[in-house]
Amino acid sequence: MVSRPGGWEWVTLHGALDAWARATPAHVAVVDEATGVRLTFRELQAWADGAAGVLAEAGVGPGDRVAYWLADRAECVALWFGASRLGAAFVPVNPALTVREAVRQLTHAAPRLLVCDPERAAAAEQVREMVPGLERTWVVGAPALAAGSPRPVRTVDPDPGRPLAVLYTSGTTGTPKGAVHTHATWLGWTGALALHHGWTRRDRLVNPYPLFHMGGAGFSAAALLVGATVILPGKAAPARLLEVVARERATLLAAVPTVLARLVGEPAERRAAWDWSALRAILTSSAPLPTRTYRALTACWPHAGIWSLYSATEILFTGLDPEDPRPDAQVVGRPVFGTEIEIRDGAGRPLPPGETGLIYGRGLSSFAGYWHGPEAFAADGWFTCRDVGFLDADGRLHLVDREADWINTGGEKVATPEVEDVLLSHPAVAEVAVVGVPDPEWGERVEAVVVPRAGEGVDPAGLQAWCRAHLAPYKVPKRIHVATGLPRGSTGKVLKRAIRERLQADRAAD
């Protein structure tokens, strides 16, 4: 039994859970496909109370951090609310990390407790021995949470400015950093998402994003914030994901463009075997949605609106609604609820519509800064991920490229998404990554790595001719490499830095 104070609990994460546990106690909150667990809001509250009790017995209190090294399962969700109730912050750890990598992250985060699943128990003990201040590990199991607290735990006094989560960014452009969200910024991020996309408690979200990632934690928390149901499919293959969406009568599906491309790439008879008529919206983020994938989605499921979100762990920037025109993959929509966007030059001066510069944002969803990291904000409180784009006359943001991925070849700037979209429009190409490689004559030269569709062959010279028909000469890749796959991070993002390094190494070896 957990005692709770009256007052302003609603300004905290656990306060939102308590509100729904009172209002709709029997409504299903979480479905864990991997374990078969289905929790109502009242049951999720009991699991959260059980987690809070175990954490309190381990000495966790206000201001502490609790790390979890878990597969995507319902216990992760319970831990968010359990840590919140104690005034602690949760720190997700990518399940794919090695012991060495986990030690590096946790030494920086300095948690008091590491929660793991049975598969990682031995590795977690190794980590504990090497991380200063990490006092205990706890191996989770549903009974430990469902049984409730071993002793009464009093919810700490609400403080919306207290850190709630430290999420480590993917590190595709550099060293990973721990983005801190307080209760206020977390509710701002998740609330802006739910409000912008019109989610309600009648929705059922299938979310295959990993729960150590903002797409997994943030999208799931946004659904729970409005009293909706979250369905965790785990690492589901495309055929399995088709089944889960149909069987659970999902109204919402969130997935990276790579997953969506694999779904529409499934044989037509396999897609037709499952009833997706309940699905009303498909949400994608983490990378631009290729034009070809967008067209395939609208052809397969014309009744489902396609929403694209340009976001980061640190802030939500823009959303592209189903009714917005999509001339190309670079259009990422207008600012989401509670967000302002500016384009600035290298000196931090605002630029007018049509001029390209760094994308800055601020608003309800903006995080609180980096954990023991570099200063995150400009002097006037705006934040940039160092992405490059411009606003058109209608206020829509065009995401040109990441600053690190923009190619300067012979004094001309090349936006890699534009070249990638052209190559993806070729019927034989399944995946592509375009990068800039150092060149003594051009400064950088444009090169591409393509993955052919199954059963298809591609001719690099033919692909260059295809590009010349659609692009200015300086944008056409000087070399096109054929590969069986692209290196990706655990969230599905293509690791362009790894591709550049490999191409440079290959060039040096020639």
In the predicted model, is pLDDT for residue 212 greater than 70? yes
Q: Residue 425 burial (CB < 10 Å; 0-12/13-18/19+)?
A: middle
Q: Which two tokens stand for residue 180?
A: 């801190």
In the predicted model, is pLDDT for residue 5 greater than 70? no
Average pLDDT, the chain: 88
Range 407-509 has CATH code 3.40.50.10700 = no
CB 204 within 8 A of CB 350: no
In the predicted model, is pLDDT for residue 434 greater than 90? yes
Domain range summary for the chain, segments of one domain joined by +: 41-159, 204-402, 407-509
Domains 204-402 and 407-509 share a fold: no
pLDDT in tens, 244-287: 999 999 999 999 888 898 899 999 999 999 999 999 999 998 77
- In single-letter form, the type of residue at position 287 comes to A
Question: What pLDDT was estimated at residue 277?
Answer: 97
* pLDDT band, residue 1 (cuts 50/70/90): very low
CB 417 within 8 A of CB 370: no
* pLDDT band, residue 147 (cuts 50/70/90): very low
* Per-range mean pLDDT, top range of 91-100, 135-144, 183-192, 369-378: 183-192
Determine the average pLDDT of the residues in 312-316.
93
Cα dihedral 272, 325, 391, 337 in deg (nearest 10)? -60
In the predicted model, is pLDDT for residue 6 greater than 50? no
In the predicted model, is pLDDT for residue 350 greater than 90? yes
Question: What pLDDT was estimated at residue 490?
Answer: 63
Which of 83-97, 152-166, 373-387, 401-415 is predicted least confidently?
A: 401-415
In the predicted model, is pLDDT for residue 185 greater than 90? yes
* pLDDT band, residue 365 (cuts 50/70/90): very high
Question: What pLDDT was estimated at residue 148?
Answer: 47
What CATH architecture is 41-159?
3-Layer(aba) Sandwich (3.40)
* pLDDT band, residue 3 (cuts 50/70/90): very low
* pLDDT band, residue 2 (cuts 50/70/90): very low
Determine the average pLDDT of the residues in 310-316.
93
pLDDT top residue among 107 and 493: 107
Q: Which DSSP string do the residues of 149-178 spell out, in sequence order?
A: -SS--PPPPP-TTSEEEEEE---SSSS--E
- Determine the CATH number of domain 204-402: 3.40.50.12780
CB 145 within 8 A of CB 117: no
Model's pTM, two decimal places?
0.82
